């Protein structure tokens, strides 16, 4: 089923149209990414509105919508669509609109508004085959970039310099954007799961954690590797192996129908049994797709089943304040009989 038809399936006698304002929902419905625009979807038609900066690209690539350059009359064009499609109530994306934006729409458009975010986002939990192809390609780019950046790591370079090299490798190998600002931290800074690259210089005996991803044709990748520079102490090796064992335990129980909580527990139990339970504070993993963080999640709060063809991260970690931290992250596709790991970079401890 086309994504546009999925969106139409939520329409009822009470909600006759959808107003799509976020880039993510517009892309999902149109299956093409335009940086700025709006769309109205009804059972009788669909219109995509953008301006002169993007109109040629939209007209050439968006096929299931009537594409309109709204010029200087956005609200006029939206109201024409509302009238033509007989819409009295529009479903809107409450998670992406500011209060000011919603006030503007409600005061200028000839329709009532009803929130529908949860219903339309639910379609994105399970990926279509073409979406999986894009995400696999994004992961391939990420793997190649990791292999290349490992050859650029040098003692004395700063975290910022390594982050710059990593970003270069991501684009060089085919990335069309970054899923998020890369995390590149070293030594004691690796105990901060979302540390920011700084001016600290890499030293022998450091752990270096790199968490990064790219966007390819609108879809995100994500991976984390922790490597050692020069050598690793026995404690570092022990913690690393514990995190790897935990990740493998989570991957082993991952399949469609299993709850996110159960996947998290499989990994968390390994870390707790090794005596590091107090040092694993975040969830085991999150879904990703058009956004780097989507639902459903593999964490202690999610009792619901993970659907088939959901794409989730597998990223347990141990973080010892003031000493070091380790995180290992792959991305897996939940399938009927297990999961498929689409991150191919080696996971045994790499000492550069």
Per-residue model confidence as pLDDT tens for the chain (352 residues): 789 999 999 999 999 999 999 999 999 999 999 999 999 999 999 999 999 999 999 999 999 999 999 999 999 999 999 999 999 999 999 999 999 999 999 999 999 999 999 999 999 999 999 999 999 999 999 999 999 999 999 999 999 999 999 999 999 999 999 999 999 999 999 999 999 999 999 999 999 999 999 999 999 999 999 999 999 999 999 999 999 999 999 999 999 999 999 999 999 999 999 999 999 999 999 999 999 999 999 999 999 999 999 999 999 999 999 999 999 999 999 999 999 999 999 999 999 9
**50 falls within a domain:** yes
Beta-carbon count within 10 A of 155 CB: 12
**185 falls within a domain:** yes
Contact 11, 43 (CB under 8 A): yes
Which of 90, 124, 158 corresponds to the end of one domain? 124
- The per-residue pLDDT for 222 is 98
Considering the domain architecture, whether residues 152 and 259 belong to the same structural domain is answered as: yes
CATH number for 63:
3.40.350.10
Considering the domain architecture, whether residues 117 and 162 belong to the same structural domain is answered as: no
Tally of residues, the chain? 352
Q: Which domain holds residue 86?
A: 3-124
**153 falls within a domain:** yes
Q: Between the CA of residue 90 and those of 28, 118, 121, 172, what are the distances in Å?
A: 18, 15, 16, 43
| Distant-in-sequence, close-in-space partners of 245: CB < 8 Å, separation ≥ 6 | 270
Q: DSSP assignment, residue 297?
A: E
Considering the domain architecture, whether residues 7 and 146 belong to the same structural domain is answered as: no
Considering the domain architecture, whether residues 179 and 50 belong to the same structural domain is answered as: no
Calpha distance 193→316 (Å, rounded):
10
- The per-residue pLDDT for 273 is 98
**352 falls within a domain:** no
Considering the domain architecture, whether residues 113 and 152 belong to the same structural domain is answered as: no
Considering the domain architecture, whether residues 337 and 265 belong to the same structural domain is answered as: yes
Considering the domain architecture, whether residues 189 and 200 belong to the same structural domain is answered as: yes
**346 falls within a domain:** no
CATH number for 267:
3.90.230.10
- The per-residue pLDDT for 52 is 95
Total of domains in the chain: 2
**Residue where the block lists tokens 């799509």:** 20
Which of 81, 102, 124 corresponds to the end of one domain? 124
**295 falls within a domain:** yes
Structure tokens that stand for 162 in this block: 């390594």
Considering the domain architecture, whether residues 79 and 202 belong to the same structural domain is answered as: no
Considering the domain architecture, whether residues 52 and 142 belong to the same structural domain is answered as: no
**271 falls within a domain:** yes
Structure tokens that stand for 126 in this block: 């399970």
Considering the domain architecture, whether residues 326 and 193 belong to the same structural domain is answered as: yes
Considering the domain architecture, whether residues 14 and 76 belong to the same structural domain is answered as: yes
Calpha distance 193→183 (Å, rounded):
9
**Residue where the block lists tokens 């297990």:** 338
Give the burial class of 7: count Cβ atoms within 10 A of its Cβ; 0-12 exposed, 13-18 middle, 19 or more buried: buried
- The per-residue pLDDT for 2 is 87
Structure tokens that stand for 79 in this block: 């109201």
Contact 67, 54 (CB under 8 A): no
| Distant-in-sequence, close-in-space partners of 52: CB < 8 Å, separation ≥ 6 | 69, 71
**348 falls within a domain:** no
Considering the domain architecture, whether residues 280 and 177 belong to the same structural domain is answered as: yes
- The per-residue pLDDT for 32 is 93
Which of 73, 92, 124 corresponds to the end of one domain? 124
Q: DSSP assignment, residue 181?
A: P
Contact 290, 230 (CB under 8 A): no
């Amino acid at each position: 089923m086309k994504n546009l038809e999925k969106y139409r399936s939520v329409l009822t006698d009470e909600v006759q149209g959808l107003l799509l304002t976020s880039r993510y929902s517009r892309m999902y419905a149109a299956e093409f990414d335009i940086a700025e625009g709006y769309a109205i979807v009804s059972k009788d038609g669909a219109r995509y509105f953008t301006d002169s900066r993007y109109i040629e690209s939209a007209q050439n690539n968006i096929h299931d919508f009537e594409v309109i350059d709204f010029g200087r009359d956005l609200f006029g064009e939206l109201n024409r669509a509302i009238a033509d499609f007989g819409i009295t109530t529009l479903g809107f994306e409450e998670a992406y609109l500011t209060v000011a934006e919603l006030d503007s729409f409600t005061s200028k458009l000839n329709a009532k508004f009803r929130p529908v975010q949860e219903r339309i986002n639910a379609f994105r939990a399970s990926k279509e085959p073409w979406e999986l192809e894009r995400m696999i390609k994004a992961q391939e780019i990420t793997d190649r970039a990791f292999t290349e950046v490992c050859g650029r790591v040098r003692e004395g370079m700063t975290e910022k310099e390594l982050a710059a090299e990593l970003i270069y490798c991501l684009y060089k190998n085919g990335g069309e954007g970054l899923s998020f600002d890369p995390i590149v931290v070293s030594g004691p800074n690796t105990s901060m799961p979302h540390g920011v690259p700084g001016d600290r210089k890499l030293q022998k005996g450091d752990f270096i954690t790199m968490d990064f991803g790219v966007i390819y044709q609108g879809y995100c990748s994500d991976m984390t590797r922790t490597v050692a520079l020069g050598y690793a102490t026995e404690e570092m090796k022990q913690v690393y192996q514990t995190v790897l064992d935990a990740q493998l335990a989570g991957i082993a129980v991952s399949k469609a129908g299993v709850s996110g909580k159960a996947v998290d527990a499989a990994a968390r139990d390994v870390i707790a049994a090794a005596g590091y339970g107090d040092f694993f504070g975040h969830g085991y993993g999150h879904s990703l797709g058009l956004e780097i963080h989507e639902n459903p999640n593999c964490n202690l709060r999610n009792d619901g089943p993970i659907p088939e063809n959901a794409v989730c991260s597998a990223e347990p970690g141990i973080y010892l304040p003031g000493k070091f931290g380790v995180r290992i992250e792959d991305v897996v596709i939940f399938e009927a009989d297990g999961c498929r790991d689409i991150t191919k970079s080696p996971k045994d401890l790499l000492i550069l």
